[in-house]
C-alpha cells in the first residue's frame, strides 16, 4: 500500500492507495474517527458494485452502517440532494462524531464533503474514490461543493476529510470514457510540474497506482502550502478556466475531464501564440491528449465561451488568474483583465 500524508493547516490525514483496500474501510474508519454510525453515500452505479463490501466492512468493525444511494451525474450536486442528505443524517440521529463515507467519484465526494462540512457545523468524512479523477484530484485537498442553477461549485467549503482510501481495484469497472477523462487531470499534473510523469504517460505503459501516488503527492504539497486557493493552489486550475466554460456550454454533455483536456489544449495554443510556450511543447501536450483519447477542440466560438466566462460569478469583475504553461513541467499564474481574457481565448483556437 502507498501512503501519502496531507498536512493541510486545518487538518492532517493520510491518502492510502492500493489494491484490495475496500474490505479494510471499517478498520480504517475506526482508527481515524470516533464514529459509531456511518452513512455510506454512493452513486446508483457504484453502490451495486461496492456498496455491500463497504457496509459489511464497517459493520464487522462494530459500526452501524447505513446506505444512502444517490443518482449518478453532475445534476446530483444540487441543493435538493444536499437537503435530502442532511435530512437523512438528522432522521438517523447522526451526532457530531459520526461519519460519512463517500464511495464514488467527484460528484459523490463533493456532495458528501459539503454535507459533512455543514451538518452540525462539521462531522468527519472519509473519501473512498472510485474514479481516476477522484483518486488523483477531487478526493484530496478538501474542496467540497454543490452547484446552483446559476453555476457550478457556487456553494462550498474547504473541509478536509479524515482519510482518503483509494482501492485501485475499483478502477477496473470504470467505463473507458471516464477513465480517459481522469487522465486529463493526470496530464494536468505532468504539465504543471512533472516532466518525468509526462514522459511516462507518453510511453503509454504507466503503472496506475504509482501514477496516482505521484499526482496525490503533488496535490498534497500544494494544499499544505495554500489550502484556501489564494496563491499556488491556483496552479491546479490549469485547463480549467476555458474548460469550465466549455463544460458549462455543453450543458455537462462533456465530462469534466474532457472539458479540462480541451481547456489545456486551448491554453497551450494561446501560450505559444503569446510567446510563452515553444511550439514543440504545445504539440507534445496536444499529442498526448490525443493519444489518451481526449478531445482538444471545441465547436463553441470564442464569443460564446467569453460570454459564459463573464457570467460565471467567480470570474466577474476584477482580474482572473489564468494558468499558463511555459514548458512541460512549468506553469505561471497570469492575472488578466476581462479584455485581456478575450485575447487569450481567441488565441486558443
Partner from ligand GLY, ligand NAD, none binding residue 348, C-beta < 5-8 Å depending on class: none
Residue closer to ligand NAD, measured from CB, 26 or 141? 141
Residues between 118 and 177 with contacts to ligand GLY, criterion CB under 6 A: 137, 141, 143
Interface residue with ligand GLY among 2, 36, 233, 342 (CB under 6 A) is: 233
The verdict on 213 binding ligand NAD (CB under 6 A) reads no
Per CB under 6 A, the list member of 15, 190, 236, 289 interacting with ligand GLY is 236
> Which C-beta is closer to ligand GLY: that of 229 or that of 346?
229
In the list 98, 167, 178, 194, the residue contacting ligand NAD (rule: CB under 6 A) is 178
Of residues 35 and 215, the one with the C-beta less far from ligand GLY: 215
Question: Which residues inside 193-232 make contact with ligand GLY, applying CB under 6 A?
Answer: 229
Mapping DSSP onto H, E and C, the string for the chain reads CEEEEEEECCEEEEEEEECCCHHHHHHHHHHHCCCCEEEEEEECCCHHHHHHHHHHHHHHCCCEEEEEEECCCHHHCCHHHHHHHHHHHHHCCCCCCCEEEEEECHHHHHHHHHHHHHHHHCCCEEEEECCHHHHHHHCCCCEEEEEECCEEEEEEEECCCCEEEEEHHHHHHCCHHHHHHHHHHHHHHHHHHCHHHHHHHHHCCCCHHHHHHHHHHHHHHHHHHCCCCCCHHHHHHCCHHHHHHHHHHCCCCCCHHHHHHHHHHHHHHHHHHCCCCCHHHHHHHHHHHHHCCCCCCCCCCHHHHHHHHHHCCCCCCCCEEEEEEEECCEEEEEEECHHHHHHHHHCCC
The verdict on 74 binding ligand NAD (CB under 6 A) reads: yes
Residue 311 CB, shortest distance to ligand NAD, in Å, is: 17
Among 43, 51, 193, 239, binds ligand NAD (CB under 6 A): 43
Residue numbers of the site for ligand GLY (CB under 6 A)?
137, 141, 143, 229, 233, 236
Residue numbers of the site for ligand NAD (CB under 6 A)?
43, 45-46, 49, 72, 74, 77, 104-108, 110, 130-131, 133-134, 137-138, 141, 143, 170, 173-174, 178, 181, 256-257
Amino acid at each position: 500500500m502507498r501512503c501519502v500524508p496531507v498536512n493541510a493547516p486545518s487538518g492532517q490525514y493520510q491518502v492510502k492507495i492500493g489494491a484490495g483496500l475496500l474490505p479494510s474501510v471499517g478498520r480504517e474508519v475506526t482508527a481515524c474517527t470516533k464514529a459509531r454510525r456511518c452513512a455510506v453515500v454512493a452513486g446508483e452505479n457504484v453502490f451495486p458494485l461496492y456498496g455491500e463490501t463497504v457496509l459489511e466492512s464497517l459493520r464487522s468493525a462494530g459500526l452501524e452502517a447505513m446506505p444512502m444511494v444517490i443518482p449518478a451525474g453532475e445534476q446530483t450536486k444540487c441543493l435538493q440532494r444536499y437537503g435530502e442528505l442532511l435530512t437523512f443524517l438528522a432522521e438517523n440521529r447522526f451526532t457530531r462524531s459520526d461519519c460519512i463515507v463517500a464511495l464514488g467519484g467527484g460528484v459523490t465526494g463533493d456532495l458528501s464533503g459539503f454535507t459533512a462540512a455543514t451538518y452540525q457545523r462539521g462531522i468527519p468524512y472519509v473519501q473512498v474514490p472510485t474514479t481516476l479523477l477522484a483518486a488523483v484530484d477531487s478526493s484530496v485537498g478538501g474542496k467540497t461543493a454543490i452547484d446552483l442553477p446559476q453555476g457550478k461549485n457556487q456553494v462550498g467549503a474547504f473541509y478536509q476529510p479524515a482519510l482518503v482510501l483509494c482501492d485501485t481495484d475499483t478502477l477496473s469497472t470504470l467505463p473507458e470514457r471516464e477513465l480517459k477523462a481522469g487522465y486529463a487531470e493526470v496530464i494536468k499534473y505532468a504539465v504543471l510540474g512533472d516532466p518525468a510523469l509526462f514522459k511516462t504517460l507518453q510511453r503509454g505503459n504507466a503503472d496506475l497506482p504509482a501514477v496516482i501516488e505521484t499526482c496525490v503527492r503533488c496535490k498534497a504539497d500544494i494544499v499544505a502550502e495554500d489550502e484556501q486557493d489564494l496563491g499556488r493552489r491556483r496552479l491546479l486550475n490549469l485547463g480549467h478556466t476555458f474548460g469550465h466554460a466549455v463544460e458549462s456550454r455543453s450543458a455537462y454533455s462533456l465530462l469534466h475531464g474532457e472539458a479540462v483536456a480541451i481547456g489545456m489544449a486551448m491554453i497551450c495554443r494561446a501560450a505559444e501564440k503569446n510567446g510563452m510556450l515553444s511550439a514543440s511543447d504545445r504539440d507534445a501536450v496536444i499529442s498526448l491528449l490525443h493519444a489518451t483519447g481526449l478531445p482538444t477542440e471545441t465547436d463553441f466560438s470564442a464569443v460564446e465561451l467569453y460570454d459564459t466566462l463573464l457570467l460565471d460569478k467567480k470570474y466577474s469583475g476584477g482580474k482572473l488568474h489564468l494558468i499558463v504553461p511555459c514548458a512541460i513541467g512549468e506553469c505561471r499564474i497570469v492575472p488578466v483583465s476581462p479584455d485581456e481574457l478575450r485575447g487569450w481565448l481567441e488565441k486558443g483556437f
